[in-house]
Amino acid sequence: MSASLARGIVHVPRRFVAEEWGGTETVILEISRQQQRAGQRPVIMTSMALARQREESIAGVPVRRYPYCYPFLGLTDADRAAMDKKGGNLLSLSFFWALLREPDVRLFHAHALKRLGGEVRTAARLRKKPFVVTLHGGVFDVPEAELEAMRQPIGNKVEWGKPFGALFGSRRVLEDADQVICVGQSERDRAQKELTHDRVAYLPNGVDCARFAEGSGASFRAKHGIPAEAFLVLNLSRIDAQKNQMLLLEAFAQFQRNQPGAFLVLVGPETQPSYAAKLREFIAAQQLGNCVRLLPGLRNDNPDLIHAFHACDVFVLPSMHEPFGIVVLEAWSSGRAVIASRVGGLQALVRDGETGLFVDPNAATAAADLAGRLQRLAIDPGFRKQLAEAGRVEARSRYDWKEINRQLEELYQKAEHHAARSRSATS
């Protein structure tokens, strides 16, 4: 089959499981579904990290997984589990051979860097196919404290995988990509300064506005013992120091003194169990157990995902850094007011006082400031409704998945043109 007729798009995340869902998984799945509707044939190829099945279909999109390892000596099971959850630099030779054999490939789309991204880069070069890279989790603007936390499992352990990194050109992935896509404007700005080429684009995440428009908040409240009249604050994200749920708990403890009937719900997979333990210790110490719910992550196809948004009065995303913040779009599409950190991609996504409220997570008064914003929205339902409606309009007008996929297709075509020119120049 000629390259012009090939319709296969190979998406490569580090891991992809329905039980450990996050923004990256949502983006890849929704893009794939849009590509299917446009006549393309997307497939998600990834590692077996956190997975039990080698192959499955998620929302009609095929997912294929391959065995892997972390090439370090002396790793414990706890170390491997921590790297599966977040940031592990894995190696999978069976995955690489599968990339070389995958039929009908139009383009490779990497959603990971390091060795896995290097395998995509090398497979694309050997097969003379274009490849693009999307930066989802922050590469150029990740705080040092978070980087240190991700490096903790490997500590001083001996790494025997460096030759494979060199073989696959892991450090050349962004330089050699036919297109680098950043979901946040701040990441895009940094990437343009750091990389030696101009093939860097900003493409925000999207949302299925119609899907989130209707939900049963009453059923969610009843299921979790939350009174219908209670003022409910929601956070839906990974339980992780990056997401900064501790700040929200500290603010809620202050807010709840003025609003004793208020409730807080934290929903998300625990990517840092030690951090989740600290949250539970704080809840117990502050005697908040009766009004705080800490719930497991929800699969993308679980109706409770949408019901949770419709159950709340305010959605809060207090992250320490955030490349984009797709849950803000979901809250807006559900007609809910948003409070978010003034960091990363959120700074371009939310307009303070118009589509949401900002809080500085690094301020000495951050907890008190966030408590004050919660109090303002609790006592002024008119303003709360105004913010929610402005957010709904913003989501519908700028972030519908159909429009995002149209822009992505344009970037794919740019990548194809660059790859063709590069091959001509070297032939």
Instruction: Tell me the residue length of the chain.
Output: 427
C-alpha separations of 126 from 101, 108, 120, 160 in Å:
11, 12, 10, 25
- Characterize the bridge pairing of strands 8-12 and 41-47: parallel
User: Is 70 exceeded by the pLDDT of residue 148?
Assistant: no
Q: Which is nearest to 245 in space by CA: 261, 268, 223, 226? A: 268
In sequence order, the β-bridge partners of residue 66 are 47
Distance CA 23, CA 29 (A): 10
User: Is 80 exceeded by the pLDDT of residue 143?
Assistant: no
CB 283 within 8 A of CB 292: yes
Distance CA 310, CA 361 (A): 26
- What is the maximum alpha-carbon separation in the chain? 72
Three-class secondary structure of residue 263 per DSSP:
strand
Is 282 exposed, middle or buried, given 0-12, 13-18 or 19+ CB atoms closer than 10 A? Answer: middle
CA angle 382, 387, 388 (to 5 degrees): 95
Residue 56 phi, psi dihedral angles, 5° rounding: -165, 175
- Characterize the bridge pairing of strands 55-58 and 61-66: antiparallel
Span 7-41, pLDDT tens digits: 999 999 999 998 888 889 999 999 999 999 999 99
Three-class secondary structure of residue 307 per DSSP:
helix
What CATH architecture does domain 8-206+400-426 belong to? Answer: 3-Layer(aba) Sandwich (3.40)
| DSSP class per residue in 379-421 | H-HHHHHHHHHHHHHHHHHH-BHHHHHHHHHHHHHHHHHHHHH
Span 58-110, pLDDT tens digits: 999 999 999 999 999 999 999 999 899 888 999 999 999 999 999 999 999 99
Residue 142's pLDDT band (cuts 50, 70, 90) = low
Is 101 exposed, middle or buried, given 0-12, 13-18 or 19+ CB atoms closer than 10 A? Answer: exposed
Three-class secondary structure of residue 199 per DSSP:
coil
User: Would you state the pLDDT for residue 149?
Assistant: 63
Tokens 């590692």, residue located? 47
Three-class secondary structure of residue 192 per DSSP:
helix
Span 192-249, pLDDT tens digits: 999 999 999 999 999 999 999 999 999 999 999 999 999 999 999 999 999 999 999 9
Domain-by-domain residue ranges, the chain?
A: 8-206+400-426, 209-398
Tokens 């039929």, residue located? 103
Q: Check if CATH label 3.40.50.2000 holds for domain 209-398.
A: yes
Span 250-273, pLDDT tens digits: 999 999 999 999 999 999 999 899
Integer-rounded Cα Rg, in Å, for the chain is 22
301 DSSP assignment: T
User: Is 90 exceeded by the pLDDT of residue 141?
Assistant: no
Span 261-313, pLDDT tens digits: 999 999 999 989 999 999 999 999 999 999 999 999 998 889 999 999 999 99
User: Average model confidence (pLDDT) for the chain?
Assistant: 93
Q: Which is nearest to 175 in space by CA: 111, 121, 96, 106? A: 121
